[in-house]
Chains A and B, each alone.
Chain A
Amino acid sequence: MPSDNDLFIVIAGLIIFFVLIGMSITLFVLFYYRRRKSYLRENELLKANFDKLLLHSRLEIQEQIFNSISGEIHDNVGQMLSVAKVQLNILSEKREYDSEVVAGIKDSINQVIQDLRHIAKGLNAENIQLSSLPEIVQRETERINRVGFLQASFIVEGTESEMGKDQKLILFRIVQESLQNILKHANAHLVKIVFFYHPDKIRINIIDDGKGFDFEKVINTNKGIGLKNILHRAKQIGGIAKVTSMPEKGTIITIDAPYGN
């Protein structure tokens, strides 16, 4: 037969059990809502950081466009107009019609018109929004080839479906920054940009035959700001950037980013 003591222990145990389990679940709910609050705060912070990055990328792209326009005006349009002016001076000094000089002036002006068309067709914010990523990168490589410091080629494998405009802008900025780094530091003759479109991600390879560098050494100093930007930007769009380089062996920058909106 059970004693009163046994019964008391069982009942007390049960009461303690239900109080404990009830308290645990209540505590869990309270803790959950606290966690959710901090999760939402973190999310907002991430979003704000992303917006900042986006704005920064836009400004950098604009700056790059202004630089390239001013460069083209100075190097091509300005040069050709100066030539035309000299030819006009020759014509006015001769005081007689010289068909050869006039043809030269015509050629110079035609060249100027062509260059201006190139600039107008080139990159502007609206063009970036309206064009696909391969189209924008194609224009950028054409611009580099026109300048003539190095030979750039561009290959696309797979087909692009609709991409979010923020993602497109940041990916373009990564490519642009990589090309700028190659132009400034790599001493390269050839650069190859390859886009691989997979169903769920895009892989971009930017390969140059330049002098290469020690990645670990550069990334740990103040010099590698451009590289750090590339890695940071890729991370911000949920992707990853990898830099493979060795002194005198060229550089490969690989960007893997989730694809879609």
Chain B
Amino acid sequence: MIEIIDAIVLASAAFFGLFHFRKSGILFRLLTLYLLYTLISEVVSFYSSKIFHNNSLVQKIYLFVEIIFISGIYYLLFRYSRKRRIIIVLAAFLFLFCFFYFILDKQAILPGYPLTLESIMLIIFSVMYFYQLLKYPYEHDLLSMGEFWLNSSVLVYSTGSFVFWVTFHYLYSHHIVLPGLPVIMNALDILHYFLLGLAIFFHVKRKSLIMHKDAFG
């Protein structure tokens, strides 16, 4: 049941972004493409596990492309070249880590360690962005800013994901299996996609307001 809600929220956010694609800025266009890509991956992953009883290849490919998408989004989010360089370096490091991890550990079914590392990277990105907002508080209404919701979503999701994977590894190493644990990740996904949809909504709303002001003064 929760997987269906997850898929519905993801699809709604992706199609909302797609519907307003032309109105959106380049950053939110990339976010929409990322959501669409996630939706397609989820569908492929679902059928892959149904048909082949294994979706680890899809998950692995998804992870690589996700690193590119998220790094691209944060690259556009930052204004200063120093921070952009940090993003490129961290993303390249994670990309290489995942690559060698999957080559060296071919048996790995769940990419737990790369996902943990990805969460850490995203936490760093989102904290850096919040720091930038605090340093240059130009925005008068933070809560109606798409970028704020996007970053909040990434922060909540990545910290949640980090806690999840750490807990998972701990329980796994102590041979404890909690059947409801993946549900937590699904709930986190729902919150993440909902907040990303909200980010696109606020961005489009603001863009329309600006266009209206430009047209009618």
Contacts and interface: CB of A to CB of B under 8 A. Distances in A.
Interface of A: 1-2, 6-7, 10, 13-14, 17, 21, 25, 28-29, 31-33, 35-36, 39
B142 A29 contact: yes
Interface string B159-186: 1100100010001000011100100100
A10 B181 contact: yes
Interface residues of B, number: 21
Among all A-B residue pairs, the 6 with the closest Cβ atoms: A36-B137, A35-B137, A39-B137, A2-B178, A2-B176, A17-B163
A32 B159 contact: no
A252 to B, nearest CB: 32
A32 B163 contact: no
A13 B164 CA distance: 10
A152 B171 CA distance: 84
A33 B142 contact: yes
Contacts of A2: 171, 176-178
B137 A25 contact: no
Contacts of B167: 10, 13
Nearest to A34: B137
Nearest to B177: A2
A10 B178 contact: yes
A10 B170 CA distance: 11
B209 interface: no
Contacts of B130: 28
A31 B131 CA distance: 11
A36 B142 CA distance: 10
Q: Does more than half of chain B's interface fall in helix, strand or loop, or is it mixed?
A: helix
28 contacts: A2-B177, A2-B178, A6-B171, A6-B176, A6-B178, A7-B178, A10-B178, A10-B181, A13-B167, A14-B163, A14-B184, A17-B160, A17-B163, A21-B156, A21-B159, A25-B152, A25-B155, A28-B130, A29-B142, A32-B133, A32-B134, A32-B137, A32-B142, A33-B142, A35-B134, A36-B137, A36-B139, A39-B137
Nearest to B157: A21
Q: Which of B133, B137, B176, B178 has the most CB of A within 10 A?
A: B137
Nearest to A9: B167
B50 interface: no
B176 A17 contact: no
B190 to A, nearest CB: 13
B68 interface: no
Contact of B134 (A1, A10, A31): A31
B5 interface: no
Contacts of B184: 14
A10 B156 CA distance: 17
Given A10-B167, A17-B163, A21-B159, A36 B181 contact: no
Given A2-B176, A32-B142, 19 more contacts: A1-B177, A2-B171, A2-B177, A2-B178, A7-B178, A10-B181, A14-B163, A21-B160, A25-B152, A25-B155, A28-B134, A29-B142, A29-B143, A31-B134, A32-B133, A35-B134, A36-B139, A36-B140, A39-B137
A39 B140 CA distance: 11
Contacts of B152: 25
A17 B159 contact: yes
Nearest to B171: A6
A115 to B, nearest CB: 53
Contacts of A14: 163, 184
A17 B159 CA distance: 9
